[in-house]
Chains A and B, each alone.
Chain A
Amino acid sequence: MTAASREDARRHVVVVGAGPAGLAAAAAALAAGARVTLVDAAERPGGQYHRTLAEEFGGPHDGGSPFARLRRRVLGHPRCTWRAETSVWALERPDPEQPGPPLVHTLTGPADGNGRRRRVLTPDALVLAPGAHDRVLPFPGWDLPGVYAAGAAQALVKGERLVIGDAVLLAGTGPFLLPVAASLLAAGAGLREVLEANPAATVARGWARRPWELTAQPGKAAELARYATLLARHRVPYRTGRTVIEARGEGRVEEAVTARLRPDWSVVPGTERTVAVDALCVGHGFSPQLELPLAAGCTLLRTPAGPAGEFVAVDGDQLTSVPGVYAAGEITGIAGAPAARTEGALAGWLAAGGEPAAPALRRVRRNRDRGRAFAARLAAAHPVGAAWPGWLRSETVICRCEETDYGALCRAAADEAGAAPRVTKLATRAGLGPCQARICGPIVAELTTRLRGAPPGGPAEGLPSAAPHRRPLAQPIRLGELARTPDAPDTGTTDPSDPTDPSHPSEPTDSKESTA
């Protein structure tokens, strides 16, 4: 067997997303002997998590962190093809008679540049790890300048050293508010208070459920204690059961109206308070990026709570409903980077054809299960209350691209003949703008369902259901790029000089790594 044909015989694993889950998947797949193509829209690996945290712990050139070692190991591996600044714009599903992973259509080059290269990847297995983005529930005035998504605010203070404001309010729900608060304080912003919308009882009950599980997450408890100390030192109050229900200002935010909330997030009348602010940061958890799993044909799992109640359904091996397609990280449930890493390691190893009974996997699976339990705990402690639409007014903008307001959604829902989701979308234009419903889609779907009841029946044969995350074109592509023939199919073959013997898998985790 020649070296080249031996390379061709290796499994080709394509990993989409180079955040914690994707990097771990790539490392594990390489360890299992596969050829790996790792693609990410960013210039450098790390995803949302390391974009910020790598800097917090010493900046991007910190060569000694576990993340830096992992990154070097994966990117420098002879069997790994790293495609930076590469977006997946389409997944092409195979014939239903021959189920398997889709072809992966990519574009490489700066998003605003001309002439990105089109490639088609032909994976033997696909690991989807696209992550999640900030979720912000709309409220009156949320579209005023000076109102930031919490994650965007964090990126601004860290990436661009911007001091968001001197009188800043941070509101929403979830433990992610704490690192955002820390970043704001570190940048010198004047943080006035942190508001957790859920009442203390909900938070405590959620975290205290099955307390024996928490012993598996000692790092989390220490982290929380650290943040609590930080807030206390800066005399920033952390209040529960209160949130921002309105932002006001002429041309930019000048004051925020906060109010006490019941457990279902309905406003307790008479508890409204007006606070002068020059910036407002809001975060209500995260929305998984589901367009690629949907394009691949993966079944989603509906969880009862709120507008982000959909995730990719996976089995114990991180395998989705589509043969050869694995999912890892926040798209299977919001659980943070450590959980994403273990899911990625498991998915990458198995996608590469690694031995499912490998002893090292036992620990990975155990950690993965703990990660899932943590996700469930997180969701229970920081739910989105069902009564949040009570904040909305008729003129509150819901879709910012098309400036569709809540009143337009209400009118569309009241029109019996035009109430089908797709018809409503075309009529109100909510979700038709440049962001293609990435921001408002799940919220519009939730509001429409509340106003109208669940959409009737299933979709007609051949037509997809009106999923808010469905975007057959996963990313915009220029007409000129689309018209060009793609480069010849890329099977991920690299220089066939790799000495690794795939019959001896190494443990698919970071733990055995020596510093390179």
Chain B
Amino acid sequence: MASVTIEPTAARDLAAKGGKPQRLAPNYWPFVMPALVVIGAVIVFPWVFTLWMSVNSWTLGQEQTFTGLDNYIRLAGDMRFWESMWHTLVYTALSVIAPLILGTLAALIFDGEFPLRGFLRGVFVMPMMATPVAIALVWTMMFHPQLGVLNYLLSLIGIGAQEWIYNQSTVIPALVLVETWQWTPLIMLIVLGGLAAVPREPYESAEIDGANAWQKFRYLTLPMIAPFLMIGVIIRSIDAVKSFDIIYAMTQGGPGTASETINIYLYNTAFSYYDIGYGSAMAVVFFFVIIALSFVLMMVRARTNWSDMEER
């Protein structure tokens, strides 16, 4: 076998100096090709095909015609699209913030010493392991206005029947409740990891200075676990923005279109209305929204790194 013709670090040095990196030896291509083929087939081709479809009018069973930017123009005037975009943002924001607060609180509690801590922590993380559609079915039954256990429990403390996912104004908070129930444990585990890495000395100094519990949390714990919280925010944001299964299984975007996120609308357009061209345009726009969101998150994350904080 031929020897490696290029050292990666050497190649970077060359590139940095403006020189041309050496080409990969021909007998190495067979090793690279499988990965290239897979990436081409599952990432590049679908992406290029989606772009192409987005500039065509194509409904399954009918002629496909090139329409240029018509689908994008139609999208700009489609109120249902903008509403679904708004629902996605609200749903994502709430599904990130609520587990973040509750997960941090849970982590602070489970960081302390108390009897049965390990067992209770195990119980607490169980929702995370359940299948989303199974969760959706169970919660749908619990939310039922007449037969559901939640309204029964509320009635015991004198609160009247709520409509939960069966009302346009309460459906998104009710869905977020399910997301929060499932994903709070994830944030808790991440923050617990952060708390374990926190040094004890600053707390001793703070105690000597007379800091109270809130001040210790606000000025010591929070800044020190901020990078971990940021990881939680990134993971939750990615997950919430692409959330489909729980919403679809519980409300299918209803009542009306009150819980229709961009994913649900996109899915309906492409696979219920078979309007592939328009659905593709929606997918392209949504892709750029996600890219923008990723940039924002990356910028915020860079600001929360420990090394940066030290520099400040």
A binds B: no
